[in-house]
């Protein structure tokens, strides 16, 4: 039976939910940019290119043209030229390293007064290239060779962006590892990653790693106890011994606490050795490595990271260590602005902290605090709800694809959107480190808006052709 034919711009084949959500978020973003930069005494019209809101209208127009242009290309074009796109953006990421640093990062090309950020567009090419790799007929995620290739494809742009001094954009590329998980990457690798992240955070929360080390020793002993599977009497004995170690910690007798915890671990390792010596050795080894890593985290942060990156970490985890007029100021002012909006906000163009520029970068990285101040709790929840519906809709679109390339591409779009929204909103409220990434469709910036628009445009094209693909 012949496949159903349609013209490239048959609007009936498009996902209108995504189109409407995209349009709503872009419009809301422009309103917030206008509010953050509006000055009645200097207002010269919406198209004033000397103002951010005027420039953003230009970027919106360019984005719409590019979305329409994406529909004019054959859907197979993106998969066919995925390697070309990926290679071109890698060259741009290398080339930008030789430009003049801006705010400590070499992340921008400047062309005719406009700035161009290659790392934003590298997300598109990486998403397309990863989808092409995962959909290749010979791809088997269970094979080590293919795992290395997929991980390498993600890590290479991350490394080049890290060399630019843009740690925020580097971390966002970690979203693609969720696509690998959907493709069949081993779950234990993600559990290990979560454990390392949790261990790092806990280590930095305390001035000393003694308490954390003792906790790890006790956990190791508990694992051995469960493996040993003896009577309740032994469990009660282990509990009392553990409480004794905790009491020594409270009494600040750290030396004796460590000795007691080590003795407890070794005793249960020895008792379990004859039954399962591999498990005993593995447990003791994991505990030793974990303690060594936990003990090194503080040293690495305090002695190997620059002051700027140290401050971002301490603002998040240990604000009492930060100067109130330093990096902590941005986050505190952002939280004040969001909180001052109350339930329903102060009203459009009525934000006092917005008008007085209390929050630096308020039209870009901290745009969400403008939403909170002028639209209040209800407006903030509404914006988050729009993003949530969009991400869920993209996931739904991913699941209904017949072509593997389209499916993995859609998953890449969803994970990138999720990471950006989670991190940006979280950092304005002090829940995650301030790493300087934009809120999709909302923050001011041509590179950001155009790159996210192209991501959506390609997705719409691939989805509109799903019925033309035979399984």
Looking at the fold, whether 210 and 147 belong to one and the same domain comes out as no
Looking at the fold, whether 45 and 172 belong to one and the same domain comes out as yes
Determine, yes or no, domain membership for 233. Answer: yes
Which residue in the block uniquely carries the two structure tokens 């460590």?
A: 258
Question: What is the pLDDT at residue 6?
Answer: 45
Question: What is the pLDDT at residue 2?
Answer: 39
pLDDT band at 471 (very low <50, low <70, confident <90, very high): low
Looking at the fold, whether 174 and 231 belong to one and the same domain comes out as no
- pLDDT higher than 90, residue 87: yes
Pick from 293, 292, 310: nearest CA to 301: 310
pLDDT band at 1 (very low <50, low <70, confident <90, very high): very low
Q: How many CB atoms lie within 10 A of CB 309?
A: 15
Looking at the fold, whether 55 and 101 belong to one and the same domain comes out as yes
Structure tokens at 407: 């499916």
Domain termination site, one of 282, 304, 326: 304
Higher pLDDT, 120 or 471: 120
Strand, helix or coil for residue 115? strand
- pLDDT higher than 50, residue 5: no
Rounded to an integer, what distance in angstroms lies between the CA atom of residue 216 and that of residue 284?
10
Looking at the fold, whether 125 and 206 belong to one and the same domain comes out as no
Pick from 341, 359, 384, 356: nearest CA to 434: 359
Question: What is the pLDDT at residue 209?
Answer: 64
Determine, yes or no, domain membership for 276. Answer: yes
Q: What is the mean pLDDT of residues 245-274?
A: 70
Determine, yes or no, domain membership for 353. Answer: no
pLDDT band at 193 (very low <50, low <70, confident <90, very high): confident
Give CA 17 to chain center in angstroms: 24
Question: What is the pLDDT at residue 272?
Answer: 67
Which residue in the block uniquely carries the two structure tokens 């070309």?
A: 84
- pLDDT higher than 50, residue 195: yes
pLDDT band at 7 (very low <50, low <70, confident <90, very high): very low
Question: What is the pLDDT at residue 46?
Answer: 80
- pLDDT higher than 70, residue 148: yes
Question: What is the pLDDT at residue 132?
Answer: 94
Question: Any idea what DSSP says for residue 99?
Answer: S
Rounded to an integer, what distance in angstroms lies between the CA atom of residue 432 and that of residue 421?
12
- pLDDT higher than 90, residue 398: yes
Higher pLDDT, 124 or 35: 124
Reported pTM: 0.84
- pLDDT higher than 70, residue 238: no
Q: What is the mean pLDDT of residues 343-361?
A: 76
Alpha helices in 403-445 (DSSP H): 404-428
Alpha helices in 274-351 (DSSP H): 277-304, 307-317, 327-340
- HSE at residue 155, side-chain half, CA atoms within 13 A, is 6
Question: What is the pLDDT at residue 412?
Answer: 95
Question: What is the pLDDT at residue 3?
Answer: 41
Q: What is the mean pLDDT of residues 187-194?
A: 82
Looking at the fold, whether 51 and 177 belong to one and the same domain comes out as yes
Strand, helix or coil for residue 442? coil
Looking at the fold, whether 145 and 31 belong to one and the same domain comes out as yes
Question: How many domains, the chain?
Answer: 2
pLDDT band at 421 (very low <50, low <70, confident <90, very high): very high
Higher pLDDT, 93 or 306: 93
- pLDDT higher than 90, residue 214: no
Question: Any idea what DSSP says for residue 110?
Answer: E
Q: Which of 89-103, 104-118, 329-343 has the lowest mean pLDDT?
A: 104-118
DSSP 208-236: -SHHHHHHHHHHHHHHHHHHHT--HHHHH
Question: What is the pLDDT at residue 462?
Answer: 93
Q: What is the mean pLDDT of residues 183-206?
A: 80
Structure tokens at 402: 């017949």
Determine, yes or no, domain membership for 332. Answer: no
Determine, yes or no, domain membership for 368. Answer: no
Question: What is the pLDDT at residue 406?
Answer: 93
At a CB cut-off of 8 Å and minimum separation 6, what does 208 contact?
A: 254
Domain termination site, one of 304, 320, 345: 304
Which residue in the block uniquely carries the two structure tokens 């159903």?
A: 4
Q: Which of 5-14, 107-116, 201-210 has the lowest mean pLDDT?
A: 5-14
- pLDDT higher than 80, residue 362: no
Looking at the fold, whether 145 and 36 belong to one and the same domain comes out as yes
- pLDDT higher than 60, residue 55: yes
Looking at the fold, whether 50 and 88 belong to one and the same domain comes out as yes
Determine, yes or no, domain membership for 63. Answer: yes
pLDDT band at 235 (very low <50, low <70, confident <90, very high): low
Determine, yes or no, domain membership for 338. Answer: no
Rounded to the nearest integer, the mean pLDDT of the chain is: 81
Higher pLDDT, 286 or 449: 449
Rounded to an integer, what distance in angstroms lies between the CA atom of residue 412 and that of residue 145?
22
Q: What percent of the chain has pLDDT over 70?
A: 80
Looking at the fold, whether 46 and 175 belong to one and the same domain comes out as yes
Question: What is the pLDDT at residue 96?
Answer: 87
- pLDDT higher than 50, residue 64: yes
Q: Report pLDDT digits (tens) over 306-342.
A: 777 777 777 777 777 776 666 677 788 888 888 888 8
167: left (phi over 0), alpha (psi -120 to 50) or beta: alpha
Determine, yes or no, domain membership for 344. Answer: no
- pLDDT higher than 80, residue 184: yes
Give CA 225 to chain center in angstroms: 38
Residue 101's domain comprises: 11-185+377-468
Looking at the fold, whether 290 and 224 belong to one and the same domain comes out as yes
Q: How many CB atoms lie within 10 A of CB 251?
A: 10
Looking at the fold, whether 391 and 452 belong to one and the same domain comes out as yes
CA quadruple 427, 430, 432, 436: dihedral sign: positive
Domain termination site, one of 304, 320, 348: 304
């Amino acid at each position: 039976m012949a496949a159903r034919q349609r013209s490239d711009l048959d609007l009936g084949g498009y996902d209108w939910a995504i189109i409407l959500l995209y349009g709503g978020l872009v419009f809301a973003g422009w309103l917030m940019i206008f509010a953050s930069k509006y000055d009645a005494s200097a207002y010269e019209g919406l198209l004033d290119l000397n103002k951010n809101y005027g420039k953003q209208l230009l970027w919106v127009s360019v984005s719409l043209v590019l979305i329409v242009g994406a529909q004019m290309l054959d859907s197979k074009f993106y998969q066919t030229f995925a390697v070309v796109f990926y290679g071109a953006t890698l060259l741009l990421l290398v080339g930008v390293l030789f430009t003049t640093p801006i705010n400590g990062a070499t992340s921008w090309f400047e062309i005719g007064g406009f700035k161009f950020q290659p790392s934003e567009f590298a997300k598109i090419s990486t998403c397309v290239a990863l989808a092409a790799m995962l959909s290749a007929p010979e791809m088997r995620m269970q094979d080590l060779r293919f795992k290395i290739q997929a991980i390498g494809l993600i890590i290479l742009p991350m490394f080049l962006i890290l060399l630019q001094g843009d740690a925020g954009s580097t971390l966002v590329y970690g979203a693609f590892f969720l696509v690998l998980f959907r493709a069949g990457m081993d779950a234990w690798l993600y559990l290990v990653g979560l454990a390392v992240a949790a261990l790092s955070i806990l280590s930095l929360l305390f001035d000393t790693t003694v308490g954390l080390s003792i906790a790890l020793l006790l956990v190791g002993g508990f694992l051995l106890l469960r493996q040993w599977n003896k009577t309740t009497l032994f469990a009660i004995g282990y509990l009392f011994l553990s409480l004794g170690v905790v009491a020594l910690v409270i009494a600040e007798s750290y030396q004796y606490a460590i000795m007691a915890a080590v003795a407890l671990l070794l005793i249960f390792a020895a008792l379990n050795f004859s039954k399962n010596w591999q498990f005993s050795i593995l447990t003791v080894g994991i505990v030793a490595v974990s303690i060594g890593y936990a003990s090194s985290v503080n040293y690495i942060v305090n002695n190997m990271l620059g002051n700027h990156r140290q401050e971002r970490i301490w603002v998040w985890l240990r604000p009492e260590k930060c100067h109130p007029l330093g990096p902590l100021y941005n986050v505190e002012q952002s939280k004040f602005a969001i909180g001052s909006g109350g339930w329903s906000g102060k009203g459009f163009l009525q934000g006092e902290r917005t008008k007085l520029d209390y929050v630096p970068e308020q039209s870009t990285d901290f745009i969400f605090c403008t939403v909170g101040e002028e639209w209040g709790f209800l407006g903030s929840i509404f914006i988050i709800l729009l993003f949530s519906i969009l991400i869920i809709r993209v996931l739904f679109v991913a699941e209904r694809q017949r072509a593997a390339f389209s499916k993995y591409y859609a998953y890449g779009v969803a994970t990138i959107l999720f990471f950006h929204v989670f991190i940006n909103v979280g950092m304005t409220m002090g829940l995650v480190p301030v790493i300087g990434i934009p809120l999709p469709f909302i923050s001011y910036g041509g590179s950001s808006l155009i790159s996210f628009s192209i991501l959506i445009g390609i997705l719409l094209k691939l989805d509109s052709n799903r019925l033309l693909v035979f399984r």
